[in-house]
Amino acid sequence: MYWRFGDYTLDLRTAELIGPDGQIHVERQTFAVLAHLIAHADRVVTRDELVEAVWDGRHVSDATVSTSIKLARRAVGDDGSTQNAIRTIHGRGFRFVAELEQPTPTRAATGPEATPCETPVDNDQPGAGRPSLAVLRFQSVGGEGLASQIASALAAELITCLSRIGWLHMIARGSSFRFDPDTADPAEIAAALSVRYLVTGMVETVGELATISVELQSADDFGLIWAERFACNLSDLQTQRSQIVSAIISSLELEIPKHESLSARKLSKAQFDAWTHFHLGITHLYRFDTGSNLVAGEHFDTAISLDPEFARAHAAKSFVHWQNAFMQLGEDRAQPISDAIAAAEKALTIDPREPFAAFNMARAKWLQGALEEGMDWFGRSLAINPNFAQSHYNLGLMQVLGGYAEDGAEASKTALRLSPLDPLAYAMFSTLALSAILRDDHQEAVRLSERANQEPGVHYFIPMIAAAANELAGNTATAERWAARTRQLRDDARAAHFFHSFPFRDEKYRQKLLSSFERLGFA
């Protein structure tokens, strides 16, 4: 839809402001402020409401809000003195006072028009702003009403759980469920709700079997990004439902950022915003080498310069510092640990409910050797987002380092179940291998450590663990091959490097691994 006032037109669908001389360039947040004020022109809008609507409730200063109001006024030919369009109501907030024509749809839609108070998203600019997603009511086939109940319940639970993910802008059920999944056109839905992604699904019941199919579509071209199929007995569906929902959410947490980074590569650098830089940084973050970590850090720094209150970017910068310490990519190890803690603290100050920030704080505490404190932070991350696979894995690793082999194995299995294609899947398998070593099950440790090395993105610690597992199992020749592979990845690999990054609490387990490393020439 669009509004006209005076010589101006504000179009929600295209996120454009058109003036008497053509299109007026405005930043995303300025456009969002203007759109929200116009949508609620019948009343005063408080500063707190603007912060919630435009900045997603993140802490921003009064100066930031005032600057956005000033830019919005300038865009429509207004100023702080005349206030012909945006009037300051002292002590209360702001109100849009220019005369508006009736809002008009930009195109026919089979469902409801876009809710004006939603922050507009320009679907023609993938990678611009926070990714937005609508989960539609699932289609149902069979079951005489049961399939329909399951379909609605699954979609509703997905929306509730996905709303915990701070980097994802979720459309409320009251809007997305107003569309008929059997007849609505996905393109019309995406336009009406102003989203970049749609999740659709189908529940089919035949006798005692329930089959659930789920798809993620991009609103750029409505191509299929990801799809999965789940099947179980109807009698087991209630107990299986939470696992199905968790598996879907974990996949979306991987697939949406991956698609965002691919879409960002189609943009010119002049079009990059804070979120674009964030997603590009993430693509380099998991490569665990000096050059990639440097590039990732530069992207996160740029994201922070564009949006200083971007909590997740600060958390990602903490990951960069942590990686410098974990991989010992520089001479000084203490400083990057300190920097990792500081960046995580900054992220948590901005958004105390950012699970990625709690996750990175936990990892920094791990490198400090404060395992119990690290486990507490991982627990906090999982309390915010129970489906965060990487926190499950890292909690498991902390438990293994603390000597709790069985607990660590269970947490790592949970991580792999949630995210079998995770960029840290190799580390999840390696944690299971370390757990097996602690239990003296060396053959299982061999199997798991070699499975870890089949995953993409391994760094030199992963073949080092495989070398130790084989050496302990008596597979001397195989152990030597894995030791040689370790030295290919880092020619100066040493046992001291390993124990700096994996601070085992129990000296017995540490000595067991150390003896193996020494026999392999890593002294």
More confident call, 511 vs 262 = 511
The SS3 call for residue 45 is: strand
384-404 residue pLDDT tens? 888 889 999 999 999 999 999
Per-domain residue ranges for the chain? Answer: 2-96, 132-264, 387-523
Same fold, 132-264 and 387-523: no
Which residues fall within 8 angstroms of residue 96, CB to CB, at 6 or more apart? 37, 38, 40, 41, 85, 86, 87
At residue 50 the predicted structure's pLDDT band, cuts being 50, 70 and 90, is confident
Average pLDDT over residues 190-215: 88
> How far apart are the C-alpha atoms of 486 and 483, rounded to whole Å?
5
Q: What is the dihedral of CA 176, 178, 183, 186, to 10 degrees?
A: -30
Burial class (CB in 10 A: 0-12, 13-18, 19+), 388: buried
Does the pTM exceed 0.85? no
Element (H, E) at 9: strand 8-11
Which residues fall within 8 angstroms of residue 372, CB to CB, at 6 or more apart? 402
Element (H, E) at 133: strand 132-135
Specify the amino acid at residue 209.
L
At residue 48 the predicted structure's pLDDT band, cuts being 50, 70 and 90, is confident
Q: Give the domain 132-264 fold.
A: Rossmann fold (3.40.50)
* pLDDT over 70 at 507, yes or no: yes
Second CATH level (architecture) for the domain 2-96: Orthogonal Bundle (1.10)
Burial class (CB in 10 A: 0-12, 13-18, 19+), 71: middle
Specify the amino acid at residue 494.
R
At residue 83 the predicted structure's pLDDT band, cuts being 50, 70 and 90, is confident
> How far apart are the C-alpha atoms of 369 and 376, rounded to whole Å?
13
93 phi, psi to nearest 5 deg? 155, -135
At residue 104 the predicted structure's pLDDT band, cuts being 50, 70 and 90, is low
| Residue 87 β-bridge partners | 95
> How far apart are the C-alpha atoms of 364 and 371, rounded to whole Å?
10
> How far apart are the C-alpha atoms of 268 and 270, rounded to whole Å?
5
CA torsion through residues 499, 501, 506, 510, sign: negative
Average pLDDT over residues 433-438: 96
> How far apart are the C-alpha atoms of 216 and 168, rounded to whole Å?
14
At residue 1 the predicted structure's pLDDT band, cuts being 50, 70 and 90, is low
Most confident stretch, 42-51, 138-147, 259-268, 433-442: 433-442
> How far apart are the C-alpha atoms of 462 and 370, rounded to whole Å?
23
Three-class secondary structure assignment of 204-273 = EEECCEEEEEEEEEECCCCCEEEEEEEEEEHHHHHHHHHHHHHHHHHHHHHHHHHHHHHHHCCCCHHHCC
> How far apart are the C-alpha atoms of 86 and 41, rounded to whole Å?
10
453-483 residue pLDDT tens? 999 889 999 999 999 999 999 999 999 999 9
> How far apart are the C-alpha atoms of 25 and 13, rounded to whole Å?
15
350-376 residue pLDDT tens? 989 899 999 999 999 988 888 889 989
Q: Give the domain 387-523 fold.
A: 1.25.40
Specify the amino acid at residue 332.
D
